[in-house]
Amino acid sequence: MERISIIGAGSWGTALGILLAKSGHQVKIWSILKDEIKMLNEEREHKDKLPGIAIPSNIYGTTDLKEAMEDTKIVVMAVPSKFVRETSKKVKEFIQKDQIIVNVAKGLEESTLLSLAEVIEEEMPDNEVAVLSGPSHAEEVAKDIPTTCVVGANSKSVANKVQDVFMSKTFRVYTSPDIKGIELGGALKNVIALAAGISDGLNFGDNTKAALMTRGIAELSRLGIAMGASVHTFAGLSGIGDLIVTCTSMHSRNRRAGILIGQGQTLEEAIKEVNMVVEGVNTAKAAYEISKKYAIEMPIIEQIYKVLFENKNPKEAVEDLMLRDKTNEHKKLDMDFNKTIEWYKE
């Protein structure tokens, strides 16, 4: 049994709290929102975000961060990306050196283009920061539906520790040293999921979605390699795995927002209707900037950026993607293979 603090009581923080509590851990969950904590403690249910799912008795909710941080070994950061910096600054006041921080949010910091673990590390440089990511919708994890994730950390012992804490008969956790790749996969797939949703909203078919997913992971991998991540990570749970679940599931907030945009709603209307964080929107901006910074071609990201922020008609965006210059399927992805084949050399 471990003592664990969860910072953020949205759908993901609450679902992970339920998972950990059912494994017998003692869980404290913190939210900045008084009503949310009152609901968790008194009604023993997150009625807005995980309706119908009981909160086990070994979860205690608090709005007092000092109390939340006391006497725990693992601190799970589960606030949306736009709150990660300010929440980290608050957490920093109470953090102990031996507490492991596990980031589970998926996004990038828009102003700095940093990953979220990098933001947390900047604020709390003396602590070990791990990341947990993969195809894992809160709605299913909270219902004990078998799920797999990967934990990334700089130190193997930290990764193993987090793996041990989260593993259960319904939640299988792998380890990896590639924090950068895991975070990029988790953040950028949300932008591709918006695209997949838009495609569904436009009533395009399975062919179109398969194209977006496959060419999407090619874009993510190209950027990841340029930023020092491992190509293998993008073929794993936090890459293609999370891309599959987010582009195909009706639980996905990003896909649902995309569907509404494809059906003609404005971005603001779609975000309002989804009523939970749609991380792909801010990530689209950051990803577009990063692709320019690293001079990596990311045509789907570019078109989504234009649809979201330059009012480009989604149908036109699809046409522009289809009519791009002709090209090979693999470019920088497979350098060793490319070298051996004459036609890639020109």
Ligand X SMILES: NC(=O)C1=CN([C@@H]2O[C@H](COP(=O)(O)OP(=O)(O)OC[C@H]3O[C@@H](n4cnc5c(N)ncnc54)[C@H](O)[C@@H]3O)[C@@H](O)[C@H]2O)C=CC1
Task: List residues bridging with 129 in a β-sheet.
Answer: 101
Q: Is 185 in the site for ligand 13P (CB under 6 A)?
A: no
- The crossing angle, in degrees rounded to 10, of helices 116-123 and 84-92 is 30
Stretch that binds ligand 13P, among 52-60, 61-69, 246-254, 314-322 (CB under 6 A): 246-254
Could you tell me which of 54, 202, 78, 60 has the C-alpha nearest to residue 133? 78
Look up tokens 């807005």; give the residue: 48
Token pair in block for residue 301: 């990201």
Annotated ligand binding at 22? The verdict is no
> Residue 83 carries which DSSP code?
G
Is residue 182 within 8 A of residue 198, CB to CB? The reply is no
Between 50 and 218, CB nearer to ligand X: 50
Annotated ligand binding at 138? The verdict is yes
Among 234, 242, 288, 291, binds ligand 13P (CB under 6 A): 242
Residues 276-335 that bind ligand 13P (CB under 6 A): 279
Give residues in contact with ligand X (CB under 6 A): 8-13, 31-33, 36, 49, 78-81, 83, 87, 104-107, 136-138, 276-277, 279
Is residue 128 within 8 A of residue 100, CB to CB? The reply is yes
d(CA 168, CA 141): 11
By rule CB under 6 A, what string of x and - marks binding of each residue 188-207 to ligand 13P?
--x--x--------------
Q: Is 253 in the site for ligand 13P (CB under 6 A)?
A: yes
d(CA 209, CA 300): 12
Look up tokens 């799920």; give the residue: 147
- The catalytically annotated residue of 28, 189, 209, 306 is 189
Active site residue 66: no
Q: What residue 193 binds from ligand X, ligand 13P, none (CB within 5 to 8 A, per partner kind)?
A: ligand 13P
Q: What residue 49 binds from ligand 13P, ligand X, none (CB within 5 to 8 A, per partner kind)?
A: ligand X
Q: Is 135 in the site for ligand 13P (CB under 6 A)?
A: yes
Name the residues annotated as catalytic: 189
